[in-house]
Structure 1
Amino acid sequence: MLDRPDSLAARAQGQGGGAAPGRPRAARGPFRPEVWLNARQRSSVRLSAHYFRLVDVLAVIGVALAVMFGLRSGEASHGLTAAEAAPLAAGALSALTLLRGFQLYRFARDTFWPLHLAGVAACGLVAGGAALLAALALGAEAPGRVGLWTAANGACLLGLHGAWLGLIARWRRQGALSPNIVVVGATRHAQTLIEQALDRRDMNVLGVFDDRLARAPQSVAGVPVLGDASALMTHRIMPYVDRIVLAIDPEAGQRVRDLTQRLQTLPNPLTVLVDSELGGDGVLNRLANAPLAALDGPADPDRRAFNKRLQDLLIGALLLAVAAPIMALIALAVRLDSPGPVFFRQRRHGFNHETIVVWKFRSMRQEAADATASRQVCPGDDRVTRVGRFIRATSLDELPQLFNVLSGEMSLVGPRPHAIGMKTGETESALLVAEYAHRCRIKPGMTGWAAVKGSRGPVDTEAQVRKRVQLDIEYVERQSFWLDLWIMLITVPVLLGDRAAVR
């Protein structure tokens, strides 16, 4: 169950550096979205415009096919001719092109819904006209068919876009489309920013952090001070944060540089507030529209994320169907080999430091299970069962992670999710490389660039951790639909061809 903002703020006292001794607990401020979503879930909402367009495409094609073959069934038994099908195909293509061309998938905050629906109706009528012209040009006697399609297609699109507008209005009321930010620095700049944001109500300010906590107030413009800058680095609220705003007086140059260097190690984007921006709406527009306001128009990162999610759903479902019999046999073998559950569940780092529960087939004795990976697997590890050695060597123990992929917590391709608290030697792996958190800027994957480049299995030295992080960040920067396909295609040959790797 997701933590709500009230519980997160209440537990800030228990965080390292969460509050000065003796300070009363700060009350929640005026920014309280009804729907409390973490960054991964909010990114799914952000991609809604792409899903709406996909549904429109399927609906327009479905209506055209229904009209073509529905009328055909009551006529002569000969097949549908090209001259009869072409007008409706031209109309469907025209409708879809016009909807996108007139930017009717832009659901901006100031969208006037009657005007939007009027635009959808106009696109439907123009598409009907295009279908009629195509019929006349081809000499097809199909005015009735074209008229029926125009009416049915227009009604379908109006109904769908009415539903889209209703959904988006509801999400906006709940705060699901407003960026979540935290402010670093309990300063006059922070107070001005929060007061301006409160007037506009287009972003959620979750809390304020200040490294000079002894001099900081309990709250800034009604938003509580939750801790110091060190507490921010590991605070429970961070998976819910879309952007960090540094609101330090620019004259404190060294302090700004130090905080910027520290905060850039987090996966959350960082914005430095410039004093001159506070006089107008410029900074508010910049924060409110980036990066979460993608419903205001298509953006390349969102299109890439949408394509990646479709890839995960389609290929993941196919792989699960193919692997189901194998998974059933593995489950039976695990159960017969040693006492204990079939599955092993482990808390790991997900997107934006979200905590996710990753599924695997159990490959160790139940009493030797290591949920925090404080002791990484080594050659001849006595904790691994007989069946476990085989499924680990072939990576078949990872197959249940297909459920994580379909649920949206993971992707088929991405940085491998590391266990929370995983250690390299005596040190937590996440503390060895400053850029470690950057690998969390994308969903973790079942396989990934690092895995096919030889960095897989335990990381026993700082050099191995550094190489893994370097490869993961390289993937984050290069990720594309085709790169993911290539990684998936070579994963099995690479893994099976490297028998020496410890897994």
Structure 2
Amino acid sequence: MSNLVRLPRRDDGLQSAPAPEAWTPVLDETDFAAGHDHALPPAEAAPAQDRRGPMRPERLSPTRRRLDGQAFAWAFQGIDGLWLGACALGAFIMGGAQAGVYVAPALAVMVTLSLFDLYAFRSRQGLSYHLAKTSVAVALGVGAAVLMLAAFLPLVLVLSQLAVWTVAAFLGLYALHALWWLRVRRWRSEGRLTPNVVIVGATKAAERLISQAMKSGEVNVLGVFDDRLARAPDALRGVPVLGDTQALLSHRIMPYVDRVIVAVPTGAQERVRQVIASLRPLPNEVSLLLEDELVPADAISPHHTAPISDLPLARVSGLPRHLGRAIVKRTLDLVIGAVALVVALPVMALVALAIRLDSPGPILFTQRRQGFNNEEIVVWKFRSMRHDVADANARRQVQADDDRVTRVGRLIRSTSLDELPQIFNVLSGEMSLVGPRPHAIGMMTGDVESARLVAEYAHRHRMKPGMTGWAAIHGSRGPVDTPEDVRRRVELDIEYIERQSVWLDLYIIAMTIPCLLGDRQAVR
């Protein structure tokens, strides 16, 4: 028993509900359009054979575009505080009373707004209900402040001084919270706010999780997969069963999934290990639902993730989300990317002119590559090959003295000037300045697809791809011609992902140009 972790048994008394009308096992080819948000018709208009499920949002948005609800709750709260402070300052200037007369109610209202949980924006709460709570919270906050101030100042004076402030504060907060609520509803309809999950295991625990999620609206359960598909129903609580665990690995819904939750009974230890082992190649975060008494200790990481509807989870694989680091990295991308674009524009204009004069065909070359969470993105480059032999799928990687490369192409490839248009990919959020280099989908190393050569290949997609990276400054640039080249590239990319920090990014950016200028051996 030394390899087991004992957990308390949980029984919330929920009864299983009968499954709704069966769904057909066919997905529309356009359901998961690569690299773009996908508009969906209203749920009530969906035909019976459409396997959308009751929690699928109106639009599916890639995980890289997911918004952090807590960060925006803090932002909304901060703007409310600024409004109350502005009202206090204005009233103080106009009324001339003591500053404390206005500071006290401002602080009290901020406290009551938080106590009424008005920054949670529950998906099941309508606008009128939210505004009614806002009104009550403001009234109670002002009332508490009046009672406190009346202990030190005449009540008539307090009421007269706070009258204008209260009206301004109330009207402003009422309008702001209506705006916040409408904004949150828009983000939810776009699929950008509520996390998307899929469940592995069509079990009673999965039914319980789906039921809790439908009540709370905390997550969207897009589908269920089961390693024992023959025994699984067509749907759980209306959520379709989309295939087995093997189908999950390559399913086109995965770039839109924030987390995979394993709901296999943890008492079946060998089955748990097998399922988790089969899911480890995924770049998505994988968590284990902890509901049974015994959990294989060697199957989980020591870090628990945030529970969903009070159901405990343990992270099995994937990177924990660091909001602060993500904000700093995106800020660096925008600031340095914008400066780089301004500096590079004259060079880009000259390169474009040279390509136009050198050979017929378009100036830019676009290629579908794999981005964050295996999302397909369209990457921009200056065209360096003859247009009639362009290889969008990288079936044949560039070799030394490749006859497909043009005269201008050799120059811009050797100096990486062909990569400059990817600044636009960085500014749009599809790429980052620093990260694993994006590879073409289906890229071949010899006669074998590169992704099949390393089990952890998709782990390099646990963050956005970059214009430069740890591998690039360590000599792993250009084509990967052998299995050893692929393994080294993946090892360096995973090393960067595990070590990533703002200082490491700045170091890589600073070292990129010297490494490019000093590297005359790499074939590009």
Query: What TM-score do you get using the length of structure 1 for normalisation?
Result: 0.73
The residue that corresponds to 1:450 in the other structure is 471
Instruction: Report the secondary structure of 1:313's partner residue.
Output: helix
5+ residue gaps in structure 2? 1-23, 33-47, 94-101, 142-166, 294-305
The residue that corresponds to 1:205 in the other structure is 221
2:367/2:380 contact within 8 Å kept = yes
2:231 aligned with 1:223: no
Instruction: Report the secondary structure of 1:347's partner residue.
Output: strand
Query: Which of 302, 319, 325 lines up with 2:346 in the alignment?
Result: 325
Whole-angstrom distance in 2 between the partners of 1:246 and 1:209: 9
Whole-angstrom distance in 2 between the partners of 1:53 and 1:500: 55
Whole-angstrom distance in 2 between the partners of 1:286 and 1:249: 18
The C-alpha deviation readout for 1:180-232, integer Å capped at 9, x for no partner, is 11111222222222223223332211111122222322112211111111111
Counting matched residue pairs gives 434
Say if 1:13 and 1:478 are closer, same or farther in 2 by CA, change over 3 A. Answer: closer
The CA deviation at 1:400 is 0.3
2:399/2:523 contact within 8 Å kept = yes
**Structure 1 letter corresponding to 2:119:** F
2:520 aligned with 1:499: yes
2:31 aligned with 1:36: no
Whole-angstrom distance in 2 between the partners of 1:45 and 1:35: 18
**Structure 2 letter corresponding to 1:322:** V
Structure with a larger share of its residues in helix: 1
Query: Which of 504, 509, 512 lines up with 1:483 in the alignment?
Result: 504
1:415/1:447 contact within 8 Å kept = yes
**Structure 2 letter corresponding to 1:178:** T
The residue that corresponds to 1:268 in the other structure is 284
The alignment-based identity, stated in percent, is: 56
5+ residue gaps in structure 1? 1-5, 15-23, 72-90, 124-150, 292-298
Larger deviation, residues 215-224 vs 240-249: 215-224
Instruction: Report the secondary structure of 2:397's partner residue.
Output: coil
2:380/2:422 contact within 8 Å kept = yes
The residue that corresponds to 2:27 in the other structure is 9
2:200/2:263 contact within 8 Å kept = yes
Give the alignment of 1:229-378 within 5 angstroms.
229-276=245-292, 283-285=307-309, 301-378=322-399
Q: Aligned Cα RMSD in Å?
A: 4.4
The residue that corresponds to 1:145 in the other structure is none
**Structure 2 letter corresponding to 1:483:** L
Whole-angstrom distance in 2 between the partners of 1:260 and 1:251: 14
Whole-angstrom distance in 2 between the partners of 1:229 and 1:392: 41
Instruction: Report the secondary structure of 2:436's partner residue.
Output: coil
The CA deviation at 1:461 is 1.6
1:12/1:227 contact within 8 Å kept = no
Whole-angstrom distance in 2 between the partners of 1:271 and 1:222: 22
The residue that corresponds to 2:412 in the other structure is 391
Whole-angstrom distance in 2 between the partners of 1:400 and 1:122: 56
The CA deviation at 1:408 is 0.6
Say if 1:215 and 1:122 are closer, same or farther in 2 by CA, change over 3 A. Answer: closer
Structure with a larger share of its residues in strand: 2
Whole-angstrom distance in 2 between the partners of 1:346 and 1:50: 39
The CA deviation at 1:275 is 2.9
1:50/1:306 contact within 8 Å kept = no
2:197 aligned with 1:181: yes
Query: Which of 439, 449, 458 lines up with 1:428 in the alignment?
Result: 449
Whole-angstrom distance in 1 between the partners of 2:240 and 2:343: 51
**Structure 2 letter corresponding to 1:387:** V
Query: What TM-score do you get using the length of structure 2 for normalisation?
Result: 0.71
Instruction: Report the secondary structure of 1:183's partner residue.
Output: strand
**Structure 2 letter corresponding to 1:215:** R
Whole-angstrom distance in 2 between the partners of 1:391 and 1:495: 12
The residue that corresponds to 1:75 in the other structure is none
**Structure 2 letter corresponding to 1:273:** L
Whole-angstrom distance in 1 between the partners of 2:135 and 2:359: 62
